[in-house]
Amino acid sequence: MADFSSRARDIWSARQAAGAYLVVGLTWIVVSDVVAHGLVGRTLAELWTDLAKGSLFVIVTAVILYGLLRRHLRRLEVAEQARVALESRVTQVVESLSEVVWAADLTGERPPWVGGAVEAVYGVSPEAFRARPDLWREAVHPEDRPLADARERSVRQRGEAEAVYRVVRPDGEVRWLHDRARRIDDAAGRPVRLTGVARDITAQKVAELAARHARLHDPLTGLMNRAALVERLERHFDEPDSRGLGVLLALDLDGFGAINAAHGNRAGDQVLSVVGDRLQAALDDTAAVVARIGGDEFAVFLPALADPSGAVDTVREVQSALARPITEVAGEALVSASVGLAAAARLTDSGGALAEHLLRSALGALSRAKVERGGGSAASAVEDVAASAREVRLRVDLHHALERDELFLVYQPEFDLRSGRLLGVEALVRWQHPTEGLVPPDAFIGVAETTGLIHGLGSYVVARACAQAHAWLPQMAERPFKVWINLSRVQLQRPGFAAQLIAEVDATGVPHARVGFEVTESAYADDAGPVRDNLDALSEAGFGLALDDFGTGWSSLASLRTLPIDVVKIDRAFVSDLSPDGPNERLIQAIVGMSHALRLTVLAEGIEAREDVERLVELGCDVGQGFGLGRPGPVEAVEAMLGSPTPMARTALLASLAAPEPTDQGPGHPRR
């Protein structure tokens, strides 16, 4: 019926146009011929002939016009039907999409268009968007509107852009969209239209957020885990206004193992969950960050504090919150917490590792709190934090110190306590740091050992000390003189170290008898393996070997007979307190007796006063070393003593002793 009506309209329109042409044409023929006949005086027969010819022409052309109009109108009808059908199919396709398709006219001539899953995503009909062009921005989540605005500016400037943002439906549901847009230009390059496709990625985003939450949160308590805490600390210290401030509390539950043993792991999990809830509740009104970092260990970060003393109130609140009985487990349970604190204020130069340094320092303080105070207490690790940061910097600086020749040696003399004769010197390494000045050995030897730099440092000391010993050979020809060099256990643990060391000494040309090596008791903890093999090789090669810091707990008197050593050096801790018939004197007597029975020389370290020398001689000590006898000094000081024509008399040695100034500790620790 619709097709018949359409054809009828086409026929009527064609007839109207052809009829109008026919009327106008015939009228023109009649009028023009009659007027022309009157003007030129033609006959009536000629008039009718002209009228017949003109009328026939108009009639024929009217018929042709009618046919042409019919065909044209039919073609227009077919084209319109095709357009309508195509538009219908496109609309069906667009409406079936799960994406939102949109277009915005930049010329202002057309209203905006939107289609696709508009209602499913926005909860609003397409007609509402077409009626209110700003509705799309109103639907964007307030926090994400800057992202959406940036995407629009970018597509207008660059031609295309994309963004991920949230929209809020009228019912309050939040959806995530991935919006991609393009700019359409006309032939002259002028922007005329923006088009885009917005895809709903809510399911994907929810899964990502859930996975992230699971990765960064403890499943039992819902608190941050260790990784999330470190990430949070890093973000805090990256903020310019943080000023590197912050105090971290590390907590460990005392007696938690007993709860697990008495009630089972399930009860233990309940206790941990309750502890997490109580910590959050106790600190809910503060800016504190609470995390469970493993097992029964928790952490609390206080971002605005500069010193652990400011966290005392927080520690009290935590202890108070945990002191109440936990009734969620059978028979109830009581827990307390040991707390370790560390401050970040002194770690701002830690090379980007402030978060990890802070956490390690807080855990270190926690360990000390449990060991030293038996739990339920707090200990500060501020100094440890500063030392940790300094160690990081010293590692790099020490590596360059070997390259830049910032290291040098000093020599501390050793005297025969009876005759005053100079028997040798101990070579001690020092570091002249370009900015920190003289760095004491205790501050960098440990760093060298943990980083492996001790091998390069040791080779440096051996080369310099042995070269100097070779230079002194003419002066010590008539003296039982040795240059003693300290070895690290790390060096001795390397297989084949002795062979390398012997080669380094031989390269300087100094006789083995003029060189000795000192090793602390800790190096003998393993009486077999590479350490013992290397020591045996050095002893067989003719080097002197001294057991340093003897009496600090690693070795027994009986073990002296199995060690390939020549000298036993009594630690200064026993020499500093020689009360008559006191425990230190009795211990020194025992060491001297056993050592002499094994034909070993006994050297007392740390001699400071004249009465110490006399008492040590009475106790049987052979050799002495200490600030009171001679401080570590340069080569010139040793050469002055070597140049003396006669050995220093014992009376002169005693007379040289003077009480040291309380604050005069020399250029760093005298050991290594």
d(CA 422, CA 433): 32
Output the pLDDT for position 371.
Answer: 62
Q: In this structure, what token pair is assigned to residue 261? A: 């043993």
Say if CB 355 and CB 239 are below 8 A apart: no
Report the run of H or E that residue 103 belongs to, with start and end.
strand 100-105
Output the pLDDT for position 660.
Answer: 38
Q: Are strands 100-105 and 437-439 parallel, antiparallel or unpaired?
A: unpaired
DSSP string, 271-325: HHHHHHHHHHHHTTTSS-EEEEEETTEEEEEETT-SSGGGGHHHHHHHHHHHHS-
Say if CB 591 and CB 560 are below 8 A apart: no
Q: In this structure, what token pair is assigned to residue 135? A: 């509705």
Enter the CATH code of domain 219-391.
3.30.70.270
Q: In this structure, what token pair is assigned to residue 619? A: 């106790």
Say if CB 361 and CB 327 are below 8 A apart: no
- Non-local CB neighbours of 407 within 8 Å, separated by 6+ positions: 401, 429, 430, 431, 432, 457, 460
Q: Are strands 407-416 and 422-433 parallel, antiparallel or unpaired?
A: antiparallel
Report the run of H or E that residue 627 belongs to, with start and end.
none
d(CA 531, CA 491): 9
Output the pLDDT for position 501.
Answer: 96
* Residue found by looking up tokens 């260990």 in the block: 297
Could you give the 3-state DSSP secondary structure of residue 360? helix
The closest alpha carbon to 421, from 150, 618, 629, belongs to: 629
Identity at 134, one-letter amino acid code: D
Q: Are strands 100-105 and 113-116 parallel, antiparallel or unpaired?
A: antiparallel
Q: Is 412 left (phi over 0), alpha (psi -120 to 50) or beta?
A: beta
The closest alpha carbon to 424, from 563, 624, 598, belongs to: 624
Longest pairwise C-alpha distance within the chain: 176
Q: In what order do the strands lie in the sheet with 174-185?
A: 113-116, 100-105, 191-200, 174-185, 160-168
The closest alpha carbon to 458, from 470, 467, 450, 449, belongs to: 449
Enter the CATH code of domain 405-557+622-655.
3.20.20.450
The closest alpha carbon to 623, from 516, 521, 524, belongs to: 516
d(CA 524, CA 626): 24
Exposure string (b/e) for 376-400, b if CB count within 10 Å is 16 or more? bbbbbbbebbbebbbbbebbebbee
The closest alpha carbon to 193, from 145, 157, 156, 138, belongs to: 156
Identity at 657, one-letter amino acid code: L
The closest alpha carbon to 251, from 148, 378, 90, 134, belongs to: 378
Identity at 612, one-letter amino acid code: D
What's the pTM? 0.49
Could you give the 3-state DSSP secondary structure of residue 331? coil
Exposure string (b/e) for 87-126, b if CB count within 10 Å is 16 or more? eeeeeeebeeeebbbbbbeeeeeeebbbbbbbeebbbbeb
d(CA 81, CA 50): 46
Crossing angle between the packed helical segments 226-238 and 354-373, to the nearest 10 degrees: 120
d(CA 169, CA 141): 9
Q: Is the dihedral of CA 578, 581, 586, 588 positive or negative?
A: positive
Q: Is the dihedral of CA 361, 362, 366, 372 positive or negative?
A: positive
**What percentage of the chain reaches a pLDDT higher than 70?**
82
Could you give the 3-state DSSP secondary structure of residue 411? strand
d(CA 214, CA 241): 30
Say if CB 619 and CB 404 are below 8 A apart: no
To the nearest 10°, report the CA torsion of 657, 660, 665, 671.
Answer: 30
Identity at 621, one-letter amino acid code: C
* Residue found by looking up tokens 């960098």 in the block: 444
Output the pLDDT for position 3.
Answer: 53
Query: Per CATH, the architecture of 100-206 is what?
Result: 2-Layer Sandwich (3.30)
Say if CB 432 and CB 646 are below 8 A apart: no
* Residue found by looking up tokens 């800057």 in the block: 146
The closest alpha carbon to 382, from 397, 394, 370, 365, belongs to: 365
* Residue found by looking up tokens 């300087």 in the block: 508
- Non-local CB neighbours of 121 within 8 Å, separated by 6+ positions: 100, 167, 175, 177, 198, 200
What DSSP state is assigned to residue 177? E
Say if CB 425 and CB 484 are below 8 A apart: yes
d(CA 70, CA 7): 9
Residues of the chain predicted below pLDDT 50: 1-2, 4, 349-352, 374-376, 380-386, 388, 527, 554, 646, 648-652, 657-672
What DSSP state is assigned to residue 101? E
**Degrees, nearest 5: CA angle 433-437-440:** 80
Output the pLDDT for position 552.
Answer: 61
580 alpha-carbon distance from chain centroid: 57
| 564: number of Cβ within 10 Å | 13
d(CA 617, CA 392): 45
